[in-house]
């Protein structure tokens, strides 16, 4: 019988994933000029239990190979354990409220053809803008943005519990770990973070908001595959 689905952060080590959670690679691409979407990447092995690298130094990405010990990885968790509603600020549009906790992976799903999640919320008296604002908020992998319906309920995409390893070829780097479908996350001390439908974990090891991604993988130039540019043609050459 499968164990309960969960992710446990090991002290200065990897994420221990239990419960036979499907694992995939997803590549963030542009559809048109401003609309982002994920397409399937490489097939990854599936297992009842596995360990995902958290330090960014593994030679067997996305899995841990023990490199965290050799590099003396400091994985101290610095993120707030307050709930999303406690941390988020509300943007009130004419026909939509959107919450924003500023926890960003710079994946740009908040950018739509007609505008950004914020500008669309402020134009939500137009039904097409309201619909686009809801997509812009609910497609954001980090869960930073959440649109609320008239009753104040969160509008969320429906996800099966699963984990996606993100690749960001548009900016020439690898991204974080997109966790979907309400998978509980336990800190190294055993505390549980608020269970959410979507969040992104850091795997470059450099986030200032561990365990969550704060987009520093972009300025750090984090790449999990070498030489991915030659092998897959996914990544732009750096100037």
Residues binding ligand FES (CB under 6 A): 105, 176, 202-204, 206-207, 213-217
How far is CA 226 from its chain centroid? 22
CB of 125 to ligand FES, least distance (A): 36
CB of 143 to ligand FES, least distance (A): 14
Q: Name which of 103 and 130 has its Cβ closer to ligand FES.
A: 103
CB of 47 to ligand FES, least distance (A): 22
CB of 205 to ligand FES, least distance (A): 7
In the chain, which ranges are E strands?
6-9, 15-18, 23-31, 35-40, 49-52, 89-92, 97-100, 111-112, 115-116, 145-148, 154-155, 162-168, 173-180, 185-186, 198-201
CB of 22 to ligand FES, least distance (A): 20
Q: Name which of 135 and 210 has its Cβ closer to ligand FES.
A: 210
CA separation for the pair 34, 94 (Å, rounded): 24
CA separation for the pair 117, 96 (Å, rounded): 11
Nearest Cα residue to 38 out of 126, 100, 105: 105
Q: Name which of 100 and 214 has its Cβ closer to ligand FES.
A: 214
CB of 208 to ligand FES, least distance (A): 8
Nearest Cα residue to 200 out of 174, 235, 236: 174
Q: Which residues contact 146 (CB under 8 A, 6 or more apart)?
A: 84, 88, 98, 99, 137, 138, 154, 155, 156
């Amino acid at each position: 019988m499968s164990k309960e689905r969960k992710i446990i952060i090991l002290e200065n080590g990897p994420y221990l994933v239990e419960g036979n959670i499907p694992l995939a690679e997803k590549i963030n691409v542009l559809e048109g000029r401003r609309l982002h979407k994920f397409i399937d990447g490489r097939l990854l092995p599936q297992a009842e239990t596995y360990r995902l690298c958290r330090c960014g130094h593994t030679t067997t990405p996305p899995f841990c190979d023990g490199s965290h010990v050799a590099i003396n990885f400091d994985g101290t968790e610095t993120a707030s354990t307050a709930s999303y509603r406690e941390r988020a600020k509300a943007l009130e549009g004419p026909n939509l409220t959107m919450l924003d906790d500023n926890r960003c992976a710079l994946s740009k799903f908040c950018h739509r053809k007609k505008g950004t999640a914020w500008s669309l919320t402020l134009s939500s008296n137009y039904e097409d803008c309201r619909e686009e604002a809801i997509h812009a908020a609910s497609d954001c992998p980090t869960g930073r943005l959440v649109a609320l319906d008239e009753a104040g309920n969160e509008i969320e995409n429906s996800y099966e519990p699963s984990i996606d390893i993100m690749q960001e070829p548009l900016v020439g780097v690898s991204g974080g770990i997109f966790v979907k479908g309400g998978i509980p996350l336990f800190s190294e001390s055993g505390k549980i973070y608020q269970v959410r439908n979507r969040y992104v974990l850091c795997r470059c090891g450099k986030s200032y908001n561990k365990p969550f991604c704060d987009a520093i993988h972009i300025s750090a130039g984090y790449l999990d595959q070498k030489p991915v540019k030659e092998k897959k043609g996914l990544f732009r050459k750096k100037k």
